[in-house]
Amino acid sequence: MVLKAVIFDLDGTLIDNEGVYDRAFCHVLKGLGISCEELKHIPGIGVKENWVKMKQNLGLEEDPQDLAAQTQEFYLQHLSEIKVRDGLRELIHYLKSKGIKIILATSNTAQIGSNVLQAIKIDHHFESKTFGDEVTRKKPAPDLFLKAMEKENLDPKRIVIIEDSPSGVEAAKAAGAKVIAIKTDWATRSQLYRADKIANSFYQINNLLKRGWPS
């Protein structure tokens, strides 16, 4: 296999931010008079999609779109707390040295995703970006990754997708690509079992690709 591109998820993968999002959801729930113990934040599927599920589960009357907007407002106010994961810049340097395309595909909206990329100063590294508001079906459907591949005319057999969530792994596999799951505190190894590889860090992913995986 000649690797042509690596597609990165954003939230939880490139950046350690799921804790900030958890607090954002909690903040909105408290405003509704609901305990944060009722929070069922599912990483990877999108903010609005989380509220659609919680509206059904908690019997909320509020519009998920409005609740998502409140969640994102809290999140943007705490961007300074978000950190790029260790080893990412070294991995990007290696991919560029080999002429491998670096692509972003995130369930987040273009507005939020662009703000985050600019804040953490990695926006310029990507050949192209695909955001959640460009597709109708969200993860675990493969649409987001298929859209990203379509933009660059990529064969899924020539790319690797890096994800952190079970829904993201399922979406990557459904898109026909190899997928590496980066292990975080938000998913267990058993939940990520569908990934072709599970790595503890970007350093480990870098070494994996340098050794010629997948071949």
pLDDT digits (tens, 9 = 90+) for 61-98: 999 999 999 999 999 999 999 989 999 999 999 999 99
Mean pLDDT, the chain, rounded, equals 95
Greatest pairwise CA separation for the chain in angstroms: 54
Q: How far is CA 58 from CA 41, 43, 55, 162, 164, in A?
A: 13, 18, 5, 32, 27
DSSP strands (E only) in 99-209: 101-106, 128-131, 159-163, 178-182, 197-199
Residue 11: pLDDT band (50, 70, 90) is very high
pTM: 0.91
Residue 103: pLDDT band (50, 70, 90) is very high
Q: What is the pLDDT of residues 45-67, one digit of tens each?
A: 889 999 999 999 999 999 999 99
Q: Is the pLDDT of residue 209 over 90?
A: yes
pLDDT given at position 179: 98
CATH 3.40.50.1000 fits 5-16+83-210, yes or no: yes
Residue type, 38: E
- For the chain, what percent of residues have pLDDT higher than 90? 93
Residue 43: pLDDT band (50, 70, 90) is confident
CA distance 211 to 215: 9
Q: Is the pLDDT of residue 41 over 90?
A: no
pLDDT given at position 42: 86
